Structure formats: C-alpha cells, structure tokens
C-alpha cells in the first residue's frame, strides 16, 4: 500500500475545512430562509426563526460555552468505501464570542476499540461492528461521535455527514458562479470519473482514464462540473500544478459561492430554496434539529470572519511500521501508546479553551 506523507494529508484536511463549513452554511441557510420552513408546522418554524434572531444559549446543546460539531465528508456512491469519512473536522462554535475553531481529525488514527481507522467509525456505526450491533452503536453519526470523543476528550453535541457530490449540485442550484481565472492552465491528466480501473484495452499508458481540461484566463461562469474540475486539477502545467495554486483556486470557488448565496435575489428565490432543500435531503445526514439549526446558522454567520484552523501537532501522533498489529494498514497512534489519548485530550482542551 502506498504510504501517503503526513503533510499531504494535513494539507488536504486544512484546505477543505472552510469549503466544508461553507457547504454546511449553504445547505442549511438557503432552505431556512425559503420554502424549507414552509414544509414544517408553524410552531416549529416560528421557534426556529426566533432562535436565529435571538440565539438563546439555553436552546442549544453545549459545554463550557462551546458547541462542538463533528463534520464528516464521505465520497458517497455505490463503490467500496463510499461510507468512509476521509474528511473529519471538529467544528467548535463559541456561544459568547464570534469565533469558530476547526480542528482536523486525521482519518488514519487507529482505534483499538473497533480495530480499524477512525474514518470507518461512521460505517461501522451503521452496519454494526464485530463487537457491537448497529442498535448498540446508535447509528453512524452517534457511533462516530462516541469514538471521536475518546480521541478529543470533549463532548461532541452534534454531527453531520456530507456527501462530496453535493458540492457540484450546490453550484448548479445557484445557477452557476462567476470566477475570475487569473492564470489559465492546461491539465492533460485529469481523471475521468468512473474510469479509474479501466484497462484501456491493454494500453499500458492508460490514456483512456484521462481527459484534457483547459481553463483560459478571464472572468467566466462555471457550472458545478466545471468548478469541480477547476479545484481538483492536480497535473496542470507550470505553477498551477502546485498545492499552493490549488488552494488559491479553491478559495476562489469558496468566495464565489459565498458571494452568490448572499445576494437577496438568490437567498429568497423559491426555486433556489427548493433545490437546496432537495440537496439537503439527498446529501446531508445530521442529528441537528431545526430549532438548533437556527441558532447554529446565526453563530456560524457571525463567526465566519473569525475562523481558526488547527492540526494535531506531529509530536502527539506517531506512524508505526505497517504490521499485522494494525491489519497491515498505514495508521497513526498516540505517541504515549496505542489507545492512550491523555496528551491529545489535553491539547484539545487547551485549543478549545474549555
């Protein structure tokens, strides 16, 4: 098995953190202001609106003035590993300060309790593990929160799982976004979805697995598919093929989405709201109830300009040799010893300010 560099995993987690938070905001904010509330009974809708305006702290689960949300991203689809949450981020929202902290949870952390990586906790929670039935785990989100709480040493009040396919559909539902491509580029090795294992009729170069994508400089309207290619391109010629360039492109997309959804004509458009509501139903699973979402939306909006991202320090995790002890997988374990989370717990407590 290929051994990914820790720095690459860290960059991936950090790079997509704000995109995931924005996705949450989009998926809850637009339907909230539009027809989404109309499908709920009036008292519940009225309470949600009141919570958004007043943000009553006693109406949302919290600990030490913080509400912690485990946000997980999965690839979805019908392939093996569709329910592995390769992106896991603890989002801590302050109730008394306009501040959001986001801490990436490395997907390769080994969990002795389930003899698997932490990114499989959601899957095992749904299916049942060799040690717990699905009824005992409480379901995918509940089990993922329970396992992650042991690592971070803090209670996690809510959880949300987002299918990465929603990114494309969100942009399409918004009618596309305007993006200024400062540096044009060509990528001759962009992977074609669904052809990852194509044998290409014996072609040893596997040319059939790739397509050439070209982006010319200038302001242009992108649909979801084009935007996805714009941010995912990894083999562009010249400087646009670097991690720094990819991160810059992703931030452009984030900014373009944010600018589009904050336009009143979009935010209050019934067709857009209806489309977003369908996306929520299709791609998002969460245990956040509607009244609590009203408060969270307000807190995320208020704190969106003060987001701090963190990575677990290298010294707290080690990468043991691949062996049967870890099912021959590439994993991270606590430096203090397998299953000993005390030092990592202390670091989370310090960062979260509990």
pLDDT at 178: 94
pLDDT at 27: 56
Can you give the residue ranges of every domain in the chain?
6-167+271-352, 175-267
pLDDT at 19: 58
Query: 10-residue block means of pLDDT along the chain (354 residues)?
Result: 36 52 58 51 73 85 93 72 84 90 90 92 84 72 95 95 83 92 93 87 91 95 93 86 78 82 80 81 86 86 83 88 92 89 95 86
pLDDT at 39: 54
Under CATH, which number does the domain 175-267 receive?
A: 3.40.630
**Pairing assessment for the beta strands 185-191 and 116-117 based on DSSP bridges:** unpaired
pLDDT at 2: 35
Q: Maximum Cα–Cα distance for the chain, whole Å?
A: 64
| Fold designation for 6-167+271-352 | Nucleotidyltransferase; domain 5 (3.30.420)
Phi-psi region of 201 (alpha: psi -120 to 50; beta: other; left: phi over 0): left
Q: What are the backbone angles phi and psi of residue 275, rounded to the nearest 5°?
A: -65, -40
Closest by CA to 352, choosing from 68, 2, 22, is: 68
Surface-to-core class of residue 337, CB atoms within 10 Å of its CB (0-12 exposed, 13-18 middle, 19+ buried): exposed
Bridge partners, residue 307, by sequence: 100
- Tell me the H-state helices in 262-341: 264-267, 270-283, 290-303
Tokens 């950090």, located at residue: 14
Q: Please, what's the b/e burial string for 313-332 (b: 16 or more CB within 10 A of its CB; e: otherwise)?
A: eeeebeeeeeeeebeeebbb
Q: Where are the beta strands (DSSP E) in 95-176?
A: 100-104, 110-111, 116-117, 158-163
Positive or negative, the CA dihedral 102, 103, 108, 113 is negative
Alpha-carbon dihedral of residues 227, 243, 101, 352, nearest 10 degrees? 150
Q: Give residue 280's Cα distance to chain centre.
A: 14
Positive or negative, the CA dihedral 295, 300, 306, 310 is positive
pLDDT at 4: 34
Neighbouring CB atoms inside 10 A of 119's CB total 23
Bridge partners, residue 44, by sequence: none
pLDDT at 280: 81
Q: Cα–Cα distance between 231 and 248 in angstroms, integer? A: 9
DSSP assignment string, 210-229: EEEEEE-SEEEEE-HHHHHH
- 3-state SS assignment for residue 311: strand
Q: Which two tokens stand for residue 118?
A: 């932490």
The DSSP secondary-structure symbol of 287 reads -
pTM for the model stands at: 0.78
């Amino acid at each position: 098995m290929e051994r990914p560099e820790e720095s690459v995993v860290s960059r991936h987690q950090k790079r997509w953190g704000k995109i995931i938070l924005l996705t949450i905001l989009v998926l809850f904010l637009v339907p909230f202001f539009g027809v989404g509330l109309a499908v709920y009974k009036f008292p519940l809708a009225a309470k949600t609106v009141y919570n958004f305006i007043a943000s009553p702290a006693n109406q949302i689960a919290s600990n030490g003035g913080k509400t912690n949300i485990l946000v997980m991203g999965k690839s979805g689809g019908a392939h093996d590993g569709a329910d592995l949450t390769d992106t896991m981020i603890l989002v801590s929202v302050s109730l008394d300060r306009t501040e959001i902290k986001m801490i990436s949870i490395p997907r390769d952390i080994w969990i002795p309790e389930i003899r698997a990586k932490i990114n499989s906790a959601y899957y095992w929670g749904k299916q049942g593990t060799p040690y717990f039935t699905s009824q005992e785990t409480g379901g995918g989100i509940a089990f993922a929160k329970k396992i992650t709480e042991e690592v971070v040493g803090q209670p996690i009040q809510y959880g949300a799982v987002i299918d990465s396919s929603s990114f494309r559909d969100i942009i399409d539902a918004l009618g596309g976004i305007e993006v200024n491509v400062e540096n044009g580029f060509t990528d001759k090795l962009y992977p074609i979805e669904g052809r990852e294992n194509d044998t290409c009729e014996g072609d040893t170069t596997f040319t059939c697995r790739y397509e050439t994508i070209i982006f010319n400089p200038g302001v242009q309207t992108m649909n979801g598919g084009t935007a996805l290619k714009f941010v995912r391109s990894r083999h562009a010629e010249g400087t646009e093929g670097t991690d720094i360039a990819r991160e810059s492109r992703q931030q452009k997309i984030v900014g373009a989405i944010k600018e589009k959804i904050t336009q009143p004509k979009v935010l209050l458009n019934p067709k857009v709201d209806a489309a977003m509501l369908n996306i929520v139903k299709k791609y998002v699973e969460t245990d956040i109830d509607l009244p609590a979402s009203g408060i969270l939306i307000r807190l995320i909006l208020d704190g969106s300009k003060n987001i701090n991202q963190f990575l677990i320090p290298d010294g707290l995790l080690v990468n043991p040799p691949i062996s049967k002890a870890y099912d021959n997988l590439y994993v991270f374990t606590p430096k203090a010893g397998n299953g000993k989370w005390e030092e990592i717990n202390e670091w989370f407590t310090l960062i979260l300010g509990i």
